[in-house]
Amino acid sequence: MSAIARALAANTAVQIAGKIVSTILGVIVVGLMTRLLGQEGFGKYSTANAFLQIFAIILDMGLNVMVVQMLGERAGDKTHEDRVTSAVFSLRFWSALLILSIAPVIGLLLPYDRELKIALFAIWASFFVTALNQIVIGVQQRHLKMHVVAIAEVVGRTVLLAGVLIATVMNWGLVPVVLMVSLGGSANFFVNFLIARRYARFALMVDWAFWKETIKRSWPIGASIIFSLIYFKADTLILSFVRPQTEVGIYGAAYRVLEILITLPFMYAGVLLPLLANAWAKKDAALFQNFIRRSFDAFSLITFPLMFGTLLVAHPVMVLVAGQDFEASGAILQILILATGSIFFGTVFSHAVVALDKQKAMLPVYIVVSILTLIGYILYIPVYGMFAAAWLTVFSEVCIALASLVMTLRVARMSLSLRVAGKSLLASLLMVILARPFLNISLGLTILVAAAIYAILVFATKAVTKTMVLELVRTSKGAPTGENTL
C-alpha cells in the first residue's frame, strides 16, 4: 500500500472511530429531543432547521469543496496556502454574516407561530459557526488532520447532549433546545479553529482579486449546490406549509437519521478530494483510477448491509431512538435509507467530478433533476404528504449519483469492477433473510446476528481478505501525515 493510500486509510479509520462516537451521541440527542418536544415540537425544530439550511446552501458558493481543491493543487506552497485559507475564510465570514442574518427576518413574514419564528433567530448562531467550520475542515482535510475534526465533532456533540439533558430536566421548550444546538455547534467550531491555527493562517482580509478568481472557479459547484437544495430541503418546507407540524416531526425524525449517516461519506470524500485533484493535476491517471476503485469497493462493503439492515429493523430502531410516538417514522426511514445509499456512492463520484473540473458539465443535470423534483413536491406532497417527500428524495439522489458516476467513468476513461459490490450485495440479502427470525426476539440480538452473518459471508466469498484487514490495521499505527505524502 502506498504512503498516500496508507495516510488516507488511517485518516478514514480515525474518522470512522470518531464518527461512531459522535453518531451515538447524536442518536441520544435526537431521542431526548423527540421525547421532550413531541411530534409537533420536533416538527417545528425540523422546519426551523430546513429554513436556515436554505440560506446556508445559498452562501456555500462551492467554497467548501473549492478550498480543498485549491489547497491540494499546490500542496506544500506555504505562501499560496496561507493566501487561500485567509481569503476564502474571509469571504465565507462576510457572506455568512450577511446572508444568514437575512433569514430569520424573512421568517417573520411566513405563516408560522411565534415560537417557531423565535426559534429561527435562536438557531442562527449554529448555522453561522457551521459555515465557518466548513472552511476550517477543508484545511484539516488538506493536512490529513481529520482526527482533529473527529475530536471537535465529539466535543460539540457532548456539549449539545449536556445542554439537551439540562433542558429535559428543566422541561424547557423549543427555543432553549435550539439555543443548545447553537452552543454545541460553537464548541465544535472553536476546537477545530484553535487547533488549525497551528499550521494554517486565518486572517480576516479583503482580497478582491483572489475572491473574483475563486468565485469564477467555484460558481458551477455553488450553482449545483443551490439546485440540489430544491430536492434536499424543499420537501420539509413544503411539507410544513401543507401538512401539520406533527407530520413534519415524524418525517423530520427519520430524515435526521439520514443526515447523521451521510456525514461519513462526506468526511471521507473530503479527504479524498485533494488526493484526487493532485493525481489528476499531475496526469497520474492510474493513481486517480485506483483511488476511485478502492473507494467504490469500500463503500459497497458499507452501504449494502446498511441499506438492507435498515429495511429490516427500521421500525424498532425509530421506536428505540425517538420513542413510541415516532413509530411511524420507521416507514419513512425504510424509504430514506435508499436515498442514503445513493448518497454514499454518489458522494465519491461527485467529488471526483470536482477533481476532474467538470462541475459545469454536471450543472444541467442538477437543474433538470431539481425542476422535476420540485414539480413532484408541489404536485404530490399535498396529496401523499411525507411519503411523497421521501420517495421523491430517493428519485433525486439516485439520479444525481448515476449522473456523477457516468461523468467520472467517461472523463477518467475508466471502468469499475463489480466483484466486491456483487458479493457485498449477495451477503446483505442473505444477512436479512437469515437474521429476520430473530427480530421477534430482540432488536439487539437481531443486529448482532446480522453483523456476524455479514462478516462471515464477506470473508467466505473473499470480498474482504485477511491481507486487506492486516493492511488496514497497519495503517492505524504510525501512518504518514499529509505533509509526507503530498
Mean model confidence pLDDT for the chain? 87
Q: How confident is the model at residue 471, as a pLDDT?
A: 58
Q: How confident is the model at residue 147, as a pLDDT?
A: 80
Ramachandran angles phi, psi of 417, nearest 5°? -85, 135
Question: Does 479 score more than 50 pLDDT?
Answer: no
Give the residue extent of every domain in the chain: 3-481
Question: Does 484 score more than 70 pLDDT?
Answer: no
Asked which of 94-98, 184-188, 257-261 is least confident by mean pLDDT, the reply is 257-261
Average pLDDT in the 29-43 region?
95
Confidence of residue 259 (pLDDT cuts 50, 70, 90): confident
Average pLDDT in the 14-41 region?
88
How many angstroms separate the CA atoms of 355 and 272, rounded? 10
Q: How confident is the model at residue 485, as a pLDDT?
A: 30
Q: How confident is the model at residue 410, as a pLDDT?
A: 94
Ramachandran angles phi, psi of 483, nearest 5°? -65, -25
Name the grid cell of 343: 448518497
Q: How confident is the model at residue 229, as a pLDDT?
A: 67
Confidence of residue 227 (pLDDT cuts 50, 70, 90): confident
Q: CA-CA-CA-CA torsion for 240, 242, 248, 251, nearest 10 degrees?
A: -120
Average pLDDT in the 418-425 region?
93
Asked which of 35-49, 166-180, 455-469 is least confident by mean pLDDT, the reply is 455-469
Q: How confident is the model at residue 486, as a pLDDT?
A: 28
Question: Does 110 score more than 50 pLDDT?
Answer: yes
One-letter amino acid for residue 99 of the chain? I
Q: How confident is the model at residue 378, as a pLDDT?
A: 94
Which among 124, 133, 122 is positioned nearest to 156, based on CA atoms? 133
